[in-house]
Amino acid sequence: MARPGSRIIQAKLVLLGDMGTGKTSLVLRFVKGQFFDHQEPTIGAAFFTQILSLNEATVKFDIWDTAGQERYHSLAPMYYRGAAAAVVVFDISNMDSFVRAKKWVQELQRQGNASLVMALVGNKLDLEAKREVGIEEAEEFSQESGMFYMETSAKTSYNINDLFYEIAKRLAKALPSQPTRMNLRNAGETRNRIFCCSS
């Protein structure tokens, strides 16, 4: 349940990025606290929900995890259209995935949704020894593109909750309150709820 007096924000969030960068793993870590070394590739897209309670708002994320393969590219607009937040993921140990991430960012920018909260995520930080994409390079690109940059590891959980917390905070600032008829107790498959209390 939402905290008393807390407003409720329902936000569509889309994950984009090359296949194998860890999009599904990031979401599974956030929603279920799970990680699999042999994560099955996503076919088409997968849907998850998770509720994040901040002091200022309760954010219910409707998360679309896309497949990433080129053959599904034409489906992508269906998932990012109407999204309040987009997370573009690359693998810090794979330069090609960073090049691909930049293309996704450019595609999102062409859609012209100025209020879209965008995050660039360098995942697989546990593979630091194999790093191919420099932090400065990724940070510079994200700043130029009006997004924030974060490095994560779905494997170790590093920065996973912080990533969604940062998005939720930005959404709470940007989005008006939504006194919808949404019943948080019936929020689909979401079982656990995350409370974040720092400001």
Ligand X SMILES: Nc1nc2c(ncn2[C@@H]2O[C@H](COP(=O)(O)OP(=O)(O)O)[C@@H](O)[C@H]2O)c(=O)[nH]1
100 touching ligand X, by CB under 6 A: no
CB 113 → ligand X: shortest distance, Å?
23
CB 189 → Mg ion: shortest distance, Å?
17
Residue of 1, 33, 36, 78 interacting with ligand X (CB under 6 A):
36
21 touching Mg ion, by CB under 5 A: no
71 touching ligand X, by CB under 6 A: no
Count of residues touching ligand X (by CB under 6 A):
21
Of 36 and 195, which CB lies nearer to ligand X in the complex structure? 36
Of 90 and 171, which CB lies nearer to ligand X in the complex structure? 90
Of 23 and 169, which CB lies nearer to ligand X in the complex structure? 23
58 touching ligand X, by CB under 6 A: no
Are the C-beta atoms of 50 and 184 separated by less than 8 Å? no
Residues 23-52 that bind Mg ion (CB under 5 A): 23-24, 42
Q: How far apart are CA 22 and CA 42, in angstroms?
A: 11
Are the C-beta atoms of 119 and 88 separated by less than 8 Å? yes
Residues 148-167 that bind ligand X (CB under 6 A): 153-155
Of 44 and 77, which CB lies nearer to ligand X in the complex structure? 44
Of 39 and 161, which CB lies nearer to Mg ion in the complex structure? 39
DSSP string, the chain: -PPTT-EEEEEEEEEEE-TTSSHHHHHHHHHH----TTPPPPSSEEEEEEEEE-SSEEEEEEEEEE---GGGGGGHHHHHTT-SEEEEEEETT-HHHHHHHHHHHHHHHHHT-TT-EEEEEEE-GGGGGG--S-HHHHHHHHHHTT-EEEE--TTT-TTHHHHHHHHHHHHHHHSPP------GGG-TT---EEE----
CB 38 → ligand X: shortest distance, Å?
6
**Which residues are at the interface with ligand X (CB under 6 A)?**
19-25, 36-39, 41-42, 68, 123-124, 126-127, 153-155
